[in-house]
Amino acid sequence: MQWWWRRERSSDEIEQLFWVDDDGPVAAALLTESKAEEWQCDPLQVAGTTSPPIDELWEAAIGQIDGHVVGEVTVAVRDDDPVLQGLAAGSGFVPGDSFTNNWIDASERPEVIDLPAGFTLVDRSQRAGTPHPFRHRNGDAAERRLRETPLYDPGLDLSIEHEDGRLAGYSLYWYDAVTRTGLVEPVRVEDEFSRRGLARAMITHGLDRLAARGAERVKIGNASEAAGALYRGLGFRPTTTDTTYAGQRDR
């Protein structure tokens, strides 16, 4: 969820809901403004826990939505979760687009691929003080915001530069030392540099760095088949599919 902190949002000041037991958090209902009058709600529960009951968690999520949202709100529901599907449909949410969750064991990661001639891979520890590649889509405060999150690591914030100085692509890798899990989010290659193998090479470098940090497995998601084919070609295995359920809240 820390990826959402990359730019300022009206949801920054919302007090998010968490449930905890003696060992720590077991559930949450998180509300994020994705863009003007477009919101995302994430009811989350730790696997294997039964408290709070899912209907109580959903009721709390709806309370957050009703208290803050104007416009469209979406909830991602796993296709193997009929209970949450029913709760979402019963609250007037309509299923829409789907995306796939893919995983790879770090021990099965591919060999690092060299970048084509004329391109250089750098990370933010090498480019501190220079404008961050994310600023074009997320604003000038993107790097400051990322550095406010505890899982951000400049050495896992990669970009590709062309020899003429242009930005060719970027990707960001998150590592959680508690679960020894990595996340790849986002991955982008600029249109003028597509179809040169840059994304494939960049991801192999990122996976290698995650493994060096201690990651045992890594997740990446895709909404398009082209991205899914790329990730499967690198050894990622599709595990679950999420469907986006959308609802509307008027003024």
Provide the pLDDT for residue 34. 86
Both 120 and 92 in one domain: the answer is no
* Residue 103 domain-assigned (yes or no): no
Both 120 and 209 in one domain: the answer is yes
* Residue 104 domain-assigned (yes or no): no
Both 115 and 223 in one domain: the answer is yes
Taking alpha carbons only, the member of 237, 246, 202, 234 closest to residue 100 is 237
Both 93 and 179 in one domain: the answer is no
Both 156 and 225 in one domain: the answer is yes
* Residue 22 domain-assigned (yes or no): yes
**In this model, does residue 251 exceed pLDDT 70?**
no
Q: Over the stretch 145-196, which tens digit does the pLDDT of each residue have?
A: 999 999 999 999 999 999 999 999 999 999 999 999 999 999 999 999 999 9
Both 152 and 180 in one domain: the answer is yes
* Residue 64 domain-assigned (yes or no): yes
Both 154 and 198 in one domain: the answer is yes
Domain count across the chain = 2
Q: How far apart are CA 11 and CA 160, in angstroms?
A: 32
Both 198 and 89 in one domain: the answer is no
In contact, 69 and 31? CB cutoff 8 Å: yes
Q: pTM for this structure?
A: 0.93
Both 219 and 155 in one domain: the answer is yes
* Residue 105 domain-assigned (yes or no): no
Cis peptide before 150 (omega within 30 of 0): no
pLDDT class of 37 with cuts at 50, 70, 90:
confident
- DSSP helix/strand/coil, 1: coil
Tell me what the mean pLDDT of segment 76-90 comes to. Answer: 96
Taking alpha carbons only, the member of 45, 40, 35 closest to residue 246 is 40
The CATH number linked to 91 is 3.40.630.30
Provide the pLDDT for residue 250. 86
Both 92 and 114 in one domain: the answer is no
Q: Over the stretch 222-248, which tens digit does the pLDDT of each residue have?
A: 999 999 999 999 999 999 999 999 999
What are the φ/ψ torsions at residue 12 (nearest 5 degrees)?
A: -55, -35
Domain that holds residue 199: 110-234
Half-sphere exposure of 79 toward its Cβ, with a 13 Å CA cutoff? 12
Report the percent of the chain where pLDDT is more than 70.
Answer: 100
**In this model, does residue 35 exceed pLDDT 90?**
no
Both 31 and 57 in one domain: the answer is yes
